[in-house]
Amino acid sequence: MSYTQVTNEGLMAVARQLSCIQDLKLVHMKHVSVDCFAEALLACGCLKKVKLLMRLRMEIPSHVITQLENRGCRLRWMEKPA
């Protein structure tokens, strides 16, 4: 879903409909709020691997990151290319 014009509503619709998603790359999504990222990640209960921008590491609540890791989800943080 990276590099798309998806909005908060669009990301949540995908998260609800495809809760069995196991691998997501969510980078360069300008129209999605941090709160929506957190809510969508928690809604996808089968996630095994997620790639996010490093700046979100400090913005997504730590309890969300902990919950994902406790489920066995591997979080990969990437720097935004110049």
Q: pLDDT tens digit string along 8-47?
A: 999 999 888 888 889 989 888 889 999 999 999 999 999 9
Model pTM score: 0.85
Residue 29 lies in a domain: yes
Distance CA 40, CA 51 (A): 13
Question: What are 55-74's pLDDT values in tens digits?
Answer: 899 999 999 999 999 999 99
Residue 30: give the domain boundaries.
8-78
Closest CA to 52 of 12, 70, 13, 36: 36
Residue 2 lies in a domain: no
Q: Supply 29's token pair.
A: 């999504």
Domains: count for the chain: 1
14 contacts 43 by C-beta, under 8 angstroms: no
Residue 70 lies in a domain: yes
Residue 45 lies in a domain: yes
- Whether the predicted pLDDT of 5 surpasses 60: yes
Residue 61 lies in a domain: yes
Residue 60 lies in a domain: yes
Residue 26 lies in a domain: yes
